[in-house]
Amino acid sequence: MWTQVAVITPEDFAPRITAYAAEFSNLKFSTYLYRNPMECGTLVEQIQECDVLLFAGPLPYFFGTKALAKRSKPSVYIPSDEYTLTLNLGYILLNRNEGLRALSVDTPKKAYLEQAVAEWQLDSSGWSVTDYSQIIEEDGAPFDPERIIRFHLENYESGRSNLVLTSVDYVYERLRAQGVPCINMIVPEKSIRETVAKAAHYGQLLISENAQIAVGLAAINQWEQEEGGLDAGIMLQQMLLELGKETDASIQQLGLDQFILYGTRGSIERMTDRFSRMPVVGKMEHLFGVTVSMGFGFGMTAKEAEAHARIGLFHARKQAGSSAFLVTNEKEVIGPLGTGTKAYRLKSEDRELLRVSEQTGVSVATLSKLSGFVKLRRDNRFTATDLAEYLQLSRRSAERIVKKLMTHRFVESVGEEQPYQQGRPRAVYRINF
């Protein structure tokens, strides 16, 4: 099977990547071109069908990150690291009359350059160096192409540098247009090939993953033995059969109000629009006033997939109204499918979560949900009401969880908030794990 790779790259660099189409015969490339890496978020949103995204460097990957989160597709990027800088310093030393005495450099991270300098045993005391390490470290220097251009121009015009080495195509074009001696960072062929090979590997994994066995269970919750209830069962069956035809899945009836679906992970991904929605459940509620619960499960065997589907159905039935949940072969619970979809793990190999669970008696699944809750927020502060709404528990249940964690100092009180003029203030907490 083919793996469709979307390549996000500057125009002049694209042929170096797509040249590997002959070597990796299972790959098909489609190119999406940018001039400024800050455009890449918009560019990613324009990509139609692809299996893997390949970025020409860490910068376009960084600016495409937010859009990537919506696509749920594997992605890779060609690194700009110590190896790249070592190669470029060697090239300048051997091929440029300016030499290495007065160099102006921009790099994703200064530590990369320091390591390359140590490899060559060079004297870099006369160099001017800036980085944009925020793309690697959250509290690092932000990327601003205009700042980098000014940095190099000031160094050159003041005589502090006689040659610029830049890792940003846009900066290279601007400096060249102003007559500044400049080298665009040479990307090693080895790095390109290894990244393309990684994209091919992800493609094969995706094909294997999509072939996993999938089982779905659907049940009408508000079943009535009246004529309307019978109509609802028939309509649900028809809707599921239509979905089955579209996605190569088979449907069997277990009872008047229950159905089982057999397919692959790929078919369920298509059916749920990449696990983001399940339109059948909403239609049934609108047409017949009945609520429908659905659970999907993946596994390496039909038995494992059905067991996971029953877990999904259990979670769906705990919701108010119609809903659908999905449980992967790694026991990750995704749902309810639709607005506000969340994901957490029923099991964990995270030693810290296991330690917290053992000491507090709070389940790993709940701690996993709590961890996901914190990651969604801009800061690590919340109230019991915030937590109750996210976990879909009563406020009292959320307060009990907080109390258990506070007893062992995994949560601490950091203040209060008064959202309304009347009533008691709410305690504000912070997680320490």
The CATH number given to whatever domain includes residue 361 is 1.10.10.10
53 and 196 share one domain: yes
**Which CATH number characterizes residue 328's domain?**
3.30.70.270
Q: How confident is residue 189, by pLDDT bands cut at 50, 70 and 90? A: very high
Answer yes or no: do 52 and 114 share one domain. no
**Residue 181: exposure state from Cβ atoms within 10 A (0-12, 13-18, ≥19):** middle
Residues 122 and 162 in one domain: yes
Tell me the backbone φ, ψ of residue 269, rounded to 5 degrees. Answer: -60, -40
> Do 221 and 339 have their domain in common?
yes
Structural domain boundaries enclosing 261: 212-345
Q: Are residues 222 and 324 both part of a single domain?
A: yes
| CA-wise closest residue to 325 among 284, 346, 295 | 295
Whole-angstrom distance, CA of residue 94 vs CA of residue 109? 24
Do residue 49 and residue 196 come from a single domain? yes
Mean pLDDT value of segment 187-207:
90
- CATH number for the domain harbouring residue 203: 3.40.50.10330
Mean of pLDDT values over 146-170: 96
Could you tell me which residues come within 8 angstroms of residue 281 by beta carbon, excluding any fewer than 6 positions away?
291, 292, 293, 294, 322, 323, 324
Spatial contact of 295 and 316, defined as CB atoms under 8 Å apart: yes
CB atoms inside a 10 Å sphere around CB 16: 16
Q: Pairing relation of β-strands 426-431 and 411-417?
A: antiparallel
Distances from the Cα of 112 to the Cα of 133, 167, 408, angstroms: 11, 12, 41
Q: Which residue has the tokens 């619960």?
A: 293
Can you give the length of the chain in residues?
Answer: 433
Regarding whether 361 and 229 lie in a shared domain, the answer is: no
Q: How many domains does the chain have?
A: 4
Which of 310, 345, 380 marks a domain boundary? Answer: 345
Does residue 421 surpass a pLDDT of 70? Answer: no
Give the model's pLDDT for residue 148. Answer: 96
Final residue in a domain of this structure, among 184, 199, 229: 184
- Give me 102's structure tokens: 């007065």
Q: Cα(139)–Cα(118) distance, rounded to whole angstroms? A: 26
* pLDDT tens, position by position, 212-268: 888 989 888 765 444 445 577 787 788 888 877 877 788 888 877 788 989 888 888
Q: What is the pLDDT of residue 249?
A: 82
- pLDDT value of position 224: 45
Q: What is the mean pLDDT of residues 121-149?
A: 91
Q: Which of 326, 345, 364 is the last residue of a domain?
A: 345
pLDDT digits 0-9 by tens, 161-184: 999 999 999 999 999 999 999 999
Given a cut of 90, whether residue 138 has pLDDT beyond it is no
Considering the domain architecture, whether residues 217 and 340 belong to the same structural domain is answered as yes
Same structural domain for residues 69 and 201? yes
Q: Tell me: do 144 and 39 sit in the same domain.
A: no
At residue 84, the pLDDT reads 95
Q: Do residue 255 and residue 368 come from a single domain?
A: no
Omega within 30 of 0 (cis) for the link into 58: no
Residues 19-78: tens digit of each pLDDT: 998 888 889 999 999 999 999 999 999 998 888 999 999 999 999 988 887 777 889 999
Q: Which residue has the higher pLDDT, 426 or 348?
A: 426
Helical pair 169-177 and 145-158, crossing angle rounded to 10 deg: 40
* pLDDT score, position 339: 66
Question: Does residue 89 share a domain with residue 72?
Answer: no
Contacts of 275-278 spanning 24+ positions with Cβ under 8 A? 275/72, 275/326, 275/334, 275/337, 275/341, 276/337, 276/338, 276/341, 277/337, 277/338, 278/324, 278/337, 278/338
Report the CATH number at residue 141.
Answer: 3.40.50.10660
